[in-house]
Chains A and B, each alone.
Chain A
Amino acid sequence: MTDLGIVLIKIVLALVWFLVITLYLTWAERKESAVLQDRIGANRAKIFGLRLFGLFQPFADAIKMIFKEDFVPAFSRKFLHTLAPFLSFFFVAITISAIPFGDDIRVAGKTISLQIFDADIGLLFVLAMLSLGIYGIILSGWASNNRFALLGSVRGAAQLISYEVALGLSLVGLIMVYPSLRLSEIVRAQGGLLFGFLPAWGVFLQPVGFVLFLFAAMAETKRVPFDLPEGESEIIGFFAEYGGLKWGMFMMTDFMEILIVSTLLTTLFFGGWQVPGLAEGGFHFPWGGTWHLAPWLVAVFQVAAFNIKVFFFCWFQILIRWTYPRLRYDQLMDLGWKWLVPLGLLNILGTAIVMSL
């Protein structure tokens, strides 16, 4: 009974964390793009005269989208048209269950892992769920019964399937280094030190794998520079026939994908909740000193470190989104198949040679 309660609490907390940060990513995107273009950005939404840098903007957006007409075109396949955004949303939202937020904590004699679903196929689970998100795109284009939407969804499917290959290959080297697919295991393996001073993070063990994963994962989020499925302004995308909250769900999915990619980058390549030097009992400095910390404080430090790393990668992805122009379709396919896939294979080969030495 208590076990079930703990799991329920974990699910609620993880979902709240996920959705609130997703909501505020929309704000972060507006503000960050504004700052790097010498503008101010959304700052008008206010409650009781309180503006707070536009922090209420996501709520204003949400209210607007909720009260918009839920328009379903007469020529669309109604059931599938409605189902598509939910599929998209669901398959991204569920991936959060496999992400470890922190080390195991002990409360009242119980060991609780800060992870909902600690599967031994955690990494495969996340990749599989992200791939299933394609169904939302294909369904939305097909069910809209609109040529442009269908073209957009076909572009999206082609892009996502291409980059799925590169994404998988870029991670094979990592799996070889930390021989596990269990995400908590991968994070634990990153706790040590390399050559006595570098933290044993994935980015130092698999630098090429990191770059490949970054490119492929950015393409998976299907945002600028890889926004061929959507291309709102020029090449009409797969959610052309959506409005109101359903459109909002597609948009939310995009931001959730940023967040999931950030958590994956953190977990796989930047040590997850690991802080260099922080272990059970407190900080162990390389010169021998120790700063003793209570176990709960260690857990707080770890979760905070995880969050800071995730926020950094969210910031970084938004920076990339506002820096580069969209790739042409042939450039996109070239990058995927002629660069990322061969380099991924070379990376596997290189890793294997180094490991067998």
Chain B
Amino acid sequence: MLKALGYFVELLRGIWITTRHFVVNMWFHTLNLFGIKTKRKGAVTIQYPEQKKDLAARHRSLHRLMKREDGKPRCVACMLCVTVCPSECIVIEATEDPDPEIQKYPSTFVIDLNRCCFCGFCVEACPEDAIRMDTAKIDLAQTSHDALIFGLDKLLK
């Protein structure tokens, strides 16, 4: 009998919690509907495509290659990123650069985003600060695998 009473009390407590949530959230929803700004919102939802959450400062998003002043890639084709890449998604073909200070530049630089796991090791490995992952692009979905293979033209943009 006492146990049943305990259950009944818990039932009432449960419905009190949900009712409280409902009333409080409806109150803020109604205030916001009538244009009254409140610090608290009725829901924690972020309406994604229209409303985006700020990315963290260290967030790793789509890669980009940095350029020198003359517009050429900063990359010297040292292959460190290729070596460190755990997904083996970077392919670089090195070519001789006329400038003896630079020696090499990548004639092709391909990142296969189908394989990339966005670990950011390539950024950490790069001695020239030639590759960065700070474009803040995170909606990368494509309808074909080919569209996800990024070459020099896309990475330098």
Contacts and interface: CB of A to CB of B under 8 A. Distances in A.
Interface of A: 32, 34-40, 319-320, 322-324, 339
Contact of A34 (B14, B19, B43): B43
Interface stretch (B21-29, B67-75, B110-118, B146-154): B21-29
B57 interface: no
Contacts of A319: 15, 18-19, 22
Contact of A40 (B18, B19, B22, B45): B45
B29 A323 contact: no
B47 interface: yes
B15 A38 contact: no
Nearest to B20: A36
Given A324-B11, A324-B14, A339-B4, A37 B19 contact: no
A35 B29 contact: yes
19 contacts: A32-B22, A34-B43, A35-B21, A35-B25, A36-B19, A36-B21, A36-B25, A37-B21, A38-B45, A39-B45, A40-B43, A40-B45, A40-B47, A319-B19, A323-B14, A323-B15, A324-B11, A324-B14, A339-B4
Interface of B: 4, 11, 14-15, 17-19, 21-22, 25-26, 29, 42-45, 47
Given A319-B19, A320-B15, A323-B15, A38 B44 contact: yes
A35 B42 contact: yes
Nearest to B16: A323
Contact of A36 (B4, B11, B22, B45): B22
Contacts, number: 41
**Dominant secondary structure at the B interface:** helix
A51 B103 CA distance: 60
B29 to A, nearest CB: 7
Contacts of B19: 36, 319
Nearest to A339: B4
A319 B47 CA distance: 25
B26 A35 contact: yes
Contacts of A39: 43-45
Nearest to A43: B47
A293 B14 CA distance: 43
Nearest to A322: B18
Nearest to A320: B15
A104 to B, nearest CB: 37
Nearest to B45: A40
B33 to A, nearest CB: 9
Contacts of A339: 4
A27 to B, nearest CB: 15
B22 A35 contact: yes
Q: 5 closest Cβ contacts across the A-B interface? A: A36-B22, A323-B18, A40-B45, A36-B21, A40-B43
